[in-house]
């Protein structure tokens, strides 16, 4: 009896000690540091634009600091954040911890907790666009989240956001909850996990409320039940009186069966039949995809052939190092062997054949009216390229905000993603860099007429930029 009592007490003691002891990290220090060393090796061996905006000393310092942070081991979340920060340090819009390419364990981590609200940053203020909780209705302004103002939140998240060079507008646009954003929902729960009672929000109406985190699927279900619908990525042609609005939110239709060229042909035939002479082309949500769709659109808007000059292209390697290949995936494994296709450069990297000049010829019946193209910071890949060529050709007046991307050239076109073996974190790495000759500015494409969303308009459901374009076309 006594021995049984002692055994029970010993068992209870072990339970108490186990509960009080801190949980062991998911990854040992060696596992976490080995993942970071592999990422560093991959950046050095594969990334053609690694030093376009960051110096070797910058990159070395970033990795040294990251390895020091995991000296006692790390959680998977910590490695994800470190990899995200290191990728953002390269200052390349195609280098990031893309949620679509993560392993199931990392996707589960990213989907575990989110705020039950849809946010938009406007004029430095934080607006609730939609809500799944009764205490924070749509239209609310959040003055602080866990004591952090919108400016504080922006400063906290900026080191983790991707963009090319100094295109900070692209970084800020990722904080909004939309198809090309969502960085706040993805990163904030990892950087600032919710307290047991939920995140504390201070609202402009004077109230302080708490909101509990939801899983990504539960959040979407609750938001939809409250009447929210995500913005459509479908192409569409609509009319505001005698002004047509052609909305093209994406060029990414890989394997989807959508024929963008046929849609454009039908749309411009309809404009001709209806005698429409004023057109808005809304590209603001178009990050990129198939750049041939942009050239097809351009062909309907120009009266004479337009030539997009070719550009020098470089790669960081001739063949992918063997020790990296097993951790890489892509859609075309020919990317990994350029034997006989490249020439060694004097410094780092290999010269590929220049990208050929692209000559776009007018369609059989090009549009002859006035055209305004709406652009903004989300235009960062093929969307950026189209904005650049619309401006260069004079085919449209650009209105809106500066684009993402960069006039110095982009890293992209060919991509691989590296999966770190211990953590399961995956990082997208572009494999080709284009170099714009001359000394172009470190910036995206500037609109001809600058117009930014206004807080009062967004709260009232008005589209500041589209309304400005319609007013502009009314003069013609």
**How many helices (H) and strands (E) would you count in the chain?**
15, 20
> In which domain, by residue range, is 258 found?
236-414+429-473
Among the candidates 225, 255, 286, a domain finishes at: 225
Residues 290 and 193 in one domain: no
The answer to the question of residue 420 being in a domain is no
The answer to the question of residue 145 being in a domain is yes
Residues 299 and 216 in one domain: no
Whether 13 and 21 have beta carbons less than 8 Å apart is answered as: no
pLDDT score recorded for residue 51: 97
Question: Strand order in 243-247's β-sheet?
Answer: 236-240, 243-247, 278-282, 370-375, 397-400, 449-450
DSSP tag of 24: P
pLDDT score recorded for residue 476: 82
Among the candidates 225, 251, 271, a domain finishes at: 225
> Long-range contact list for 65-73, CB < 8 A, 24+ apart?
66/36, 67/33, 67/36, 67/37, 70/27, 70/29, 70/32, 70/33, 70/36, 71/29, 71/33, 72/25, 72/29, 73/24, 73/25, 73/26, 73/27, 73/28, 73/29, 73/31, 73/32
The answer to the question of residue 293 being in a domain is yes
Residues 250 and 310 in one domain: yes
pLDDT digits (tens, 9 = 90+) for 215-266: 999 999 999 999 999 999 999 999 999 999 999 999 999 777 899 999 999 9
Q: Would you call 326 helix, strand, or coil by DSSP?
A: coil
pLDDT score recorded for residue 25: 87
The model carries a pTM of 0.92
Alpha-carbon distance 402 to 183, whole Å? 20
Residues 168 and 137 in one domain: yes
Residues 189 and 258 in one domain: no
The answer to the question of residue 399 being in a domain is yes
pLDDT score recorded for residue 256: 77
Q: Strand pairing partners for 245?
A: 238, 280
How many structural domains comprise the chain?
2
Among the candidates 203, 225, 247, a domain finishes at: 225
**Which residue's structure tokens are 């780092």?**
348
Q: What is the mean pLDDT of each run of 10 residues along the chain (476 residues)?
A: 42 38 80 98 98 97 98 98 98 97 98 97 98 96 98 98 98 95 96 97 98 96 95 96 97 88 98 98 96 97 96 96 97 96 93 94 97 98 97 98 97 96 98 92 98 97 98 92
Residue partners of 130: CB distance under 8 A and separation at least 6: 117, 118, 138, 223, 226, 227, 228
Structural Rg of the chain based on CA atoms = 25
Residues 220 and 251 in one domain: no
The answer to the question of residue 69 being in a domain is no
Q: Would you call 164 helix, strand, or coil by DSSP?
A: coil
pLDDT score recorded for residue 17: 34
CATH number of domain containing 249: 3.90.226.10
Could you tell me the two tokens for 172? Answer: 């800020």
Alpha-carbon distance 335 to 18, whole Å? 50
The answer to the question of residue 126 being in a domain is yes
CATH number of domain containing 155: 2.30.42
**Which residue's structure tokens are 């991307």?**
405
Residues 279 and 332 in one domain: yes
Residues 305 and 337 in one domain: yes
Torsion sign over Cα 415, 419, 424, 425: negative
Residues 392 and 458 in one domain: yes
Residue partners of 407: CB distance under 8 A and separation at least 6: 388, 436, 440, 441, 442, 443, 444, 445
Residues 205 and 254 in one domain: no
Distance of CA 230 to CAs 118, 179, 221, Å? 10, 8, 12
The answer to the question of residue 130 being in a domain is yes
The answer to the question of residue 36 being in a domain is no
pLDDT score recorded for residue 23: 61
Residues 191 and 305 in one domain: no
Alpha-carbon distance 385 to 407, whole Å? 9
Burial of 146 (0-12, 13-18, 19+ CB in 10 A): middle
**Which residue's structure tokens are 């201070």?**
202
Residues 408 and 294 in one domain: yes
pLDDT score recorded for residue 310: 92
DSSP tag of 351: E
């Amino acid at each position: 009896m006594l021995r049984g009592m002692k055994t029970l007490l010993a068992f209870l003691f072990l339970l108490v000690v186990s509960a009080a002891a801190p949980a062991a990290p998911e990854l040992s220090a060696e596992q976490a540091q080995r993942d970071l060393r592999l990422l560093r090796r991959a950046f050095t061996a594969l990334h053609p634009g690694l030093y376009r905006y960051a110096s070797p000393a910058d990159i070395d310092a970033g990795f040294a600091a990251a390895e020091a942070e995991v000296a006692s081991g790390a959680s998977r979340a910590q490695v994800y954040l470190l990899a995200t920060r290191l990728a953002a340090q390269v200052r390349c819009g195609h280098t990031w911890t893309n949620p679509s390419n993560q392993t199931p364990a990392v996707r589960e981590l990213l989907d575990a907790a989110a705020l039950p609200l849809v946010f938009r940053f406007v004029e430095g203020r934080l607006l609730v666009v939609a809500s799944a909780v009764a205490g924070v209705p749509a239209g609310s302004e959040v003055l602080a989240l866990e004591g952090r103002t919108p400016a504080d939140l922006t400063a906290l998240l900026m080191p983790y956001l991707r963009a090319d060079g100094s295109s900070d507008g692209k970084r800020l646009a990722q904080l909004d909850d939309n198809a090309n954003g969502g960085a706040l929902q993805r990163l904030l729960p990892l950087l600032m996990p919710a307290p047991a009672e939920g995140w504390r929000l201070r609202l402009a109406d004077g109230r302080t409320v708490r909101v509990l985190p939801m899983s990504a699927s539960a959040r979407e279900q609750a938001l939809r039940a409250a009447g929210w619908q995500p913005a459509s990525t479908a192409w569409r042609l609509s009319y505001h009186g005698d002004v047509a609005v052609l909305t093209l939110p994406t060029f990414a239709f890989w394997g989807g069966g959508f024929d963008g060229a046929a849609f454009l042909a039908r749309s411009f035939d309809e404009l001709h039949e209806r005698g429409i002479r004023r057109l808005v082309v809304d590209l603001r949500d178009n990050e990129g995809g198939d750049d041939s769709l942009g050239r097809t659109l351009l062909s309907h808007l120009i009266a004479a052939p337009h030539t997009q000059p070719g550009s020098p292209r470089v790669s960081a390697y001739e063949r992918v190092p063997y020790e990296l290949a097993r951790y890489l995936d892509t859609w075309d494994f020919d990317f990994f062997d350029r034997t006989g296709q490249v020439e060694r450069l004097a410094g780092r990297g290999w010269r590929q054949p220049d990208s050929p000049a692209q000559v776009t010829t007018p369609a059989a019946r090009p549009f002859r009216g006035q055209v305004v193209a709406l652009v903004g910071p989300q235009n960062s890949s093929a969307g950026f390229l189209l904005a650049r060529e619309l401006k260069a050709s004079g085919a449209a007046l650009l209105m809106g905000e500066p684009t993402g991307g960069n006039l110095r050239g982009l890293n992209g076109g060919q991509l691989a993603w590296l999966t770190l073996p211990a953590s399961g974190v995956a990082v997208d790495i572009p494999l080709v860099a284009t170099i714009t000759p001359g000394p172009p500015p470190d910036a995206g494409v500037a609109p001809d007429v600058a117009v930014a969303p206004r807080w009062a308009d967004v709260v009232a459901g008005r589209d500041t930029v589209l309304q400005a374009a319609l007013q502009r076309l009314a003069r013609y």
